[in-house]
Amino acid sequence: MQRLWIAIHLPRLPLEVFRPRWSADDCTVVLEQERVIAMSHAARAAGVQPGLRRGGAIMLAPHSQFQQRAPALEAEALQAVALALLQYTPQLAPAEQATLLLDVGASLRLFGGIRALCRKVARSVRALGFTGWLGCAPTARGA
């Protein structure tokens, strides 16, 4: 059996727990310790950048919705994504920074090869309202 891992990273998770990717692009900013850690496209277009203090973000985008980072919501969302991805393999493990690792070596033939499987995984993540970046490698660390 070929060993192959897919890593799925959710880079916009702190924002997307408040505003799923399919929702209207309102101006949303996520703060942690009074600094911007994530923002919607509308907020970025207004000049809001990661690391900016709350006051600066209010000056640039006064109509923004400001949210405090919610680690509990992020963990809940990551759990929901993990449950959805169990349809592709029972060998699933969380990794650091909103990343899940899937050992899909045994699933390749069943799902039509690596490209088809990656498309299905990406579609599943998008269906839940999250942005996902995929990587594949023979080892979990490499993925």
63 lies in the same domain as 84: no
**What digits encode the pLDDT tens for the residues 33-78?**
999 999 999 999 999 999 999 999 999 999 999 999 999 999 999 9
Query: What average pLDDT does the segment 4-31 reach?
Result: 88
Are 50 and 86 found together in one domain?
no
- For residue 9, tell me if it sits in a domain: yes
Residue 58 near residue 64, CB atoms below 8 Å: yes
Which of 41, 72, 71 lies closest to 29, judged by CA? 41
Q: Say whether 29 sits in a helix, a strand or coil.
A: strand
* Cα–Cα distance measured from residue 14 to residue 29, given in angstroms and rounded to the nearest whole number: 10
Question: Is the domain of 34 the same as that of 102?
Answer: no
- Tell me how many domains the chain contains: 2
Is the distance from CB of 91 to CB of 85 less than 8 angstroms?
Answer: no
Domain that holds residue 52: 23-68
Q: What is the pLDDT of residues 77-123, one digit of tens each?
A: 999 999 999 999 999 999 998 999 999 988 888 888 899 999 999 99
pTM reported for the whole predicted model: 0.87
Q: Looking at the structure, tell me whether residues 77 and 131 fall in a common domain.
A: yes
For the segment 15-29, the average pLDDT, to the nearest whole number, is 82
Is the per-residue pLDDT at 1 higher than 90?
A: no
What is the predicted pLDDT for the residue at 22? 66
132 assigned to some structural domain: yes
Residue 49 lies in a domain: yes
Evaluate if residue 18 carries a pLDDT over 70.
Answer: yes
For the segment 8-21, the average pLDDT, to the nearest whole number, is 91
